[in-house]
A = this chain, B = another copy of it.
């Protein structure tokens, strides 16, 4: 299990959520509280939008807690929409292309979860990626494959529908009550942010959000001890934070087979 944060709102330095809070993402890399993996030291990454239509990306195989570049970059880079992710690998190698977030065109994606028995299902999931997007498969994770499958399913025009269709397909692949599928993910295009919490055959990984004016931050676990500010996203739900619209919590994909939490 990994830990991540996603922010959309007024332009702020990345440090406000990545390095500054008491229980910041960098602190979580060394000691997460709501994760089965208390250490998230298998690389990390940040993605952000600025003046260029395509996002910036900084990914590194070293743990976030000891990366001095990260502190400088978080202080100096400002963004209205950014992602931060610390990784606990579920088996794929610790390489930069396997670190989240993943970028493709103007889209960013990051993930906490897994496709159970990836070795057996990998080819089927990779087959969901259309030829057009296969050159963007530069790593080997299940997460990157799911991202490119979503884009291949029409994610650019219909991000929610494409994500829903892809996850329904993946749910069919893992089958009822067999392999776990956990998908707690964020998707953005520079204007809009979507965050999903879903699972099949398992409990969904935790997800929280906090609103403050027009700003919203979505996190794997709260960044401070003021728990009342952090609202849980229920399983099978999503956060939709589109430009010019209020943030909304909506149903994502009903999963009858999900275990009770």
Using a CB–CB cutoff of 8 Å, the interface residues on chain A facing chain B are 30-31, 39, 41-42, 48, 50-52, 56-63, 65-66, 68-69, 72-73, 75-78, 89, 92-97, 119, 122-123, 131, 134-135, 137-140
Q: Can you report 28 residue pairs joining A to B where beta carbons are below 8 Å apart?
A: A30-B41, A31-B39, A41-B41, A41-B63, A41-B66, A48-B76, A50-B76, A52-B75, A52-B76, A56-B73, A56-B75, A56-B76, A59-B69, A63-B63, A66-B89, A68-B93, A68-B96, A73-B73, A76-B77, A93-B96, A93-B138, A95-B95, A95-B97, A119-B134, A123-B131, A123-B134, A137-B140, A138-B140
A57 to B137 Cα, complex, angstroms: 26
> Which single residue of chain B is at the shortest CB-CB distance from A41?
B41
Which of B50, B96, B123, B139 sits near A140, CB closer than 8 Å?
B139
> Which single residue of chain B is at the shortest CB-CB distance from A54?
B75
Number of copies: 4
Which of B95, B122, B123 sits near A96, CB closer than 8 Å?
B95
Chain B residues with Cβ below 8 Å from A66 are: 41-42, 89, 94
- B72:A57 contact, CB within 8 angstroms: yes
Q: A69-B60, A140-B139 are known contacts. Are A39 and B30 too (CB-CB below 8 A)?
A: yes
Chain B residues with Cβ below 8 Å from A89 are: 66
User: Given A56-B76, A57-B72, A66-B89, 9 more contacts at CB 8 Å?
Assistant: A39-B39, A48-B76, A50-B76, A51-B76, A63-B63, A66-B94, A68-B96, A73-B73, A93-B96
- B122:A62 contact, CB within 8 angstroms: no
> Which single residue of chain B is at the shortest CB-CB distance from A43?
B66
Minimum distance in angstroms from A111 CB to a CB of chain B: 19
Chain B residues with Cβ below 8 Å from A131 are: 123
